[in-house]
Amino acid sequence: MTESDTDLIRRAQADDIDAFCLLAQRYARRIHLLAFHYCRNAQDAEDLSQEVWMKAYQALRSFRSDSSFYTWLRRITINAFLNHRRSTLFRKNGQTTAVQLVQIDDEPLESRAVSPENIYTKVLFENVVDALAELTPSQRLAFLLRHYEGMTYDEIAAAMNCSSGTVKKGVSRAITKLRAKLSPDTLAPDLDTPEPLTSLASEY
């Protein structure tokens, strides 16, 4: 039976390293993906993820269950992003691919059946990562937190220590830049099959 986060946290807070490792395993990929989309570089994402886990381990005793473990972890991650940005430690012009990213998964992309769907997914993923690279760090972080993490503007503003208006502007500019960067060819699958307006509007 899978142990709950609450039980693992309680054990980890009592210096049970194995429990902390189980928690880390549970959330490692999610944190790594967020870091990867932010850094666009596999090595930086790895470094940043390690930093997050180090800080989480050091601060675990201060976790009070007033939010979910992931929310708490995400706060640490955002702070790590902002600190990294200030110290400008990220590699410049870092190139990476989806293949590098999936190396953290159990099943490398290369071993998956080569199907049009997989190829499209890989191309799509790489296009989106490239497009995200066009954003400023603030825009990228705001966009990721809004559209990948589903945080509200107020939550993002609190996390980034700015106004929600600033966050909204950042996300709006991010969407505009992403739209310009993502090519019409890539957009084509969606645009070729127009949907009723009510259907389009209901999703957003």
Partner 1 sequence: MHSCKETKERITELLLDEADSTPDTTLSAELLKCGDCRNEFATLKATLRMTKRSREQSAPT
By CB under 8 A, the residues from 63 to 82 that bind partner 1 are: none
Pick from 17, 147, 154, 165 the residue near partner 1 by CB under 8 A: 147
- 3-state class (DSSP) for residue 96: coil
CB of 50: closest distance to partner 1 in angstroms?
Answer: 18
CB of 13: closest distance to partner 1 in angstroms?
Answer: 24
Query: How distant is the alpha carbon of residue 48 from its chain centre?
Result: 12
Any contact of residue 111 with partner 1 (CB under 8 A)? Answer: no
Any contact of residue 85 with partner 1 (CB under 8 A)? Answer: no
Site string for partner 1, 185-204 (x = CB under 8 A): -xx--xx--x--xx-xxxxx
Query: How distant is the alpha carbon of residue 98 from its chain centre?
Result: 14
Any contact of residue 162 with partner 1 (CB under 8 A)? Answer: no
Pick from 29, 55, 75, 85 the residue near partner 1 by CB under 8 A: 29
Q: List Cα–Cα distances, 42 to 24, 87, 92, 130, in angstroms.
A: 18, 18, 12, 13
Listed as own residue / partner, the contacts of 190-195 with beta carbons closer than 8 Å and 24 or more positions apart are: none
CB of 6: closest distance to partner 1 in angstroms?
Answer: 20
The helix (H) or strand (E) run that includes residue 176 is: helix 164-181
Give the number of residues in contact with partner 1, rule: CB under 8 A: 35
Query: How distant is the alpha carbon of residue 97 from its chain centre?
Result: 16
Contact 141, 160 (CB under 8 A): yes
User: Of 83 and 172, which CB lies nearer to partner 1 in the complex structure?
Assistant: 172
